[in-house]
Amino acid sequence: MLRARIVGTGSYAPEKVVTNDELAAQLAEINVETSDEWIRTRTGIAQRHFAPEGEDASDMAAAAGRSALQMAGIEAKDLDLIVVGTVTADMPMPACAAFVQHKIGATCPAFDLSAACAGSIYALKVAEQFIRGGGAKNVLVVGVELLSRILDWHDRTTCVLFGDAAGAMVLRAESGEQGVISCRLATDGALTDILKIPGGGSKHPLNQETVDRRLGYVVMNGREVYRTAVRALSETMLTTLKESGIGIDDLHWVVPHQANIRIVDTVFERLNIPKSKAVLNIEKYGNTSSASVPVTLDEGVRDGRIREGHLVGLMAIGAGMSWGSALVRW
């Protein structure tokens, strides 16, 4: 049986690092109060990366993609498909993936999908289905977000959370035990109001009114997002393991979406997974949405924690609310 094996990972973050103290000082200039202590205790975040003017989401995605291709030992021309998870593409159309394809020198079909912070898990599932169905042998999956340009800096409950980054995975069709064992997706459209960007689409198109009403920025009901995330992530990981016939104790590592350390802590407590099995970098990057899981995975692979034969769990949740989990044999 063919499996979709992750044979390369890559990541990219802009050079500019903004610490909590620096962000607090900038926000104080517009009369928004926060502090390093306030942010750390509520989120676990110490700093984040922001892209400079002139750097686009597709630039970051291409950089992460090249890094993943290099690890995989293949060239862009060998790709059969590119799938990009993002809600901050360079522009409404064409797809961010089209820019990425051109920038890395690929010629294959390329498209975006939107599942917010769960974008990389959704893209992973799509890639796996193409490979299992025989429609592709080599697929580049990218999660990328340039969130610093869609944050409401007057809302300290959201603007302190996010950062810019891109993460990538190269999946290859191979026989054997290594690869994606299971991948589950879920959506609850009744929860669309708790995390959204109201403006910029056909409902509230870009015009002076939507700009004045600040509809083009992230809006979040933090309490409801927390409750949903804890429940959904715990359930989806348990279900994925059960369907695969694998126990919690068999996991070597879990790569959770780096949204908020409180969410991660509570989910791990519910699943009875030791925190020592978590691959975490939220302190350095904040919430990078679609990029979060692949960036964190790449870090775990490159520093040697994730090794051949390891069982790795991936999980993320984003607007929709949409969430997903995957079990991978490295």
Integer CA distances (angstroms), 190 to 83, 106, 115, 319, in order: 27, 39, 15, 11
Burial 144-170 (b: 16+ CB within 10 A, else e): bbbbbebbbbeebebbbbbbbbbbbbb
| 117 assigned to active site | yes
The C-alpha atoms of residue 227 and residue 47 are separated, in whole angstroms, by 25
Question: Is residue 111 a contact partner of residue 76, using CB atoms and an 8 Å limit?
Answer: no
Tokens at 163, concatenated: 């950062």
Tokens at 134, concatenated: 């025989």
Candidates 20, 138, 281, 287; catalytic one? 287
Candidates 49, 96, 117, 260; catalytic one? 117
Candidates 96, 183, 257, 260; catalytic one? 257
Q: Where are the alpha helices (DSSP H) in the chain?
A: 20-28, 36-43, 57-72, 96-104, 119-132, 156-159, 208-212, 222-244, 261-271, 282-285, 292-302
Instruction: Map residue 222 onto helix, strand or coil.
Output: helix
Which residues participate in catalysis according to the annotation? Answer: 117, 257, 287
